[in-house]
Amino acid sequence: MNPKHLQPDVPECSLCADPAVVYQRNAGRHLCGAHFTADVELRVADTIRTRRMIIPQDRVAVALSGGKDSTALLLLLSQLLPAWQDVRLIAITIDEGIIGYREETIQSAERLTRHLGIEHHCISFTDLFGDSLDTVLKGRETQACSICGILRKKALVVGAQQAGATKLATGHNLDDEAQSVLMNVFRGDLPRLVRNSGAGSSGKFIPRIKPLSLISEKEIAMYLMLNDAWNELPECPYTHHALRREVRSMLSGFEYMHPGTMLHLMESKKKIERYCAGSLISAPLHACRECGDPCSGDLCQVCSLLRSLGK
């Protein structure tokens, strides 16, 4: 018997005769490694161009945790940005101080930036806020993601400001964005649902951009594997306290049974944004009386949180 008949059939790429490595269910086509990589890069470039995320002479700070999403983001931007005039990349890593987790991801970030020759800055919670996240969360573990999210955003802004960045790029992917839409619906939080990061900031904030917002988590994993950039890293020990974990599991099930669910959620968000345009009146911004950052009340989220923590 011909040994060839003992091998399972591998479909050909829909664009060439090479063996396919992925099947795009929404598009109904198989792609080989080269065409899949090119497809991801084209879609990210299109997202950046159509939304004017990056313009000539931008200095783009990439939030680099060292995990898969931020690694893919930095790799993709380093590949694409030579096409933009005078655009410079820098990487910012936040060390929250999570023992047994953050050490490995910081090492991963350092290896990647050295390999790509990209300027790298590391900002620690201890330097900025006086304590590590592990210390802050003692007895407050169920609030881990809320507390960390507020402090991380502040740390990233500080890092971006120190580096002279004009844009702050984060590795939020399609799964992350769809999960956020669903979480805000569950919470009944319409203002947060339609909020556009960086819009209407009048220069007071560094605009945040999300070039991977239409690329799924599975596609990012495949992109890293095909480009020899996949690293097995530990998961944050606090994630089991998060609502997002439950929403992620539920949404993954819907996406498997009904391909396109996540994209449809994002399309629904855009429609809601259009319907709500001008109807949601934002509170006027003031300067936080503690740090001077713009906020809607007397204290910004960070200073209010630090005060509640006794800092």
**Among 28-37, 113-122, 194-203, where is mean pLDDT lowest?**
194-203
Based on the domain organization, do 168 and 306 belong to the same domain? no
| Total domains, the chain | 2
Does 108 reside within a domain? Answer: yes
Residue 2 reports pLDDT greater than 50: no
**Angle (nearest 5°) at CA 95 between 89 and 98:** 145
pLDDT value at position 207? 92
Structural domain including 300 reads: 281-311
Based on the domain organization, do 175 and 305 belong to the same domain? no
Query: What CA–CA distance (Å, rounded) separates 96 from 101?
Result: 10
Please, are residues 23 and 30 in contact by the beta-carbon 8 Å criterion?
A: yes
Strand-strand pairing, 22-24 and 29-31: antiparallel
What is the tens place of the pLDDT at every residue in 205-224?
Answer: 789 999 999 999 999 999 99
Based on the domain organization, do 208 and 60 belong to the same domain? yes
Query: How would you classify residue 239: left for phi > 0, otherwise alpha for psi between -120 and 50, otherwise beta?
Result: alpha
Based on the domain organization, do 311 and 233 belong to the same domain? no
pLDDT value at position 31? 97
Based on the domain organization, do 174 and 66 belong to the same domain? yes
Based on the domain organization, do 215 and 299 belong to the same domain? no
Query: What CA–CA distance (Å, rounded) separates 94 from 122?
Result: 6
Residue 200 reports pLDDT greater than 60: no
pLDDT value at position 61? 97
Q: What's the pTM value of the predicted model, to 2 decimals?
A: 0.88
Based on the domain organization, do 75 and 215 belong to the same domain? yes
**Angle (nearest 5°) at CA 72 between 271 and 192:** 30
Based on the domain organization, do 66 and 176 belong to the same domain? yes
3-state secondary structure of 19: strand
What does the pLDDT average to over 275-285?
Answer: 66
pLDDT value at position 25? 86
Specify the amino acid at residue 191.
P
Based on the domain organization, do 239 and 308 belong to the same domain? no
Residue 201 reports pLDDT greater than 70: no
Based on the domain organization, do 195 and 58 belong to the same domain? yes
Based on the domain organization, do 204 and 285 belong to the same domain? no
The larger pLDDT score, comparing residue 144 to residue 39, is at 39
pLDDT value at position 278? 61
Does 24 reside within a domain? Answer: no
Which secondary-structure segment (H or E) carries 7? none
DSSP state of 91: E
Does 16 reside within a domain? Answer: no
Based on the domain organization, do 196 and 291 belong to the same domain? no
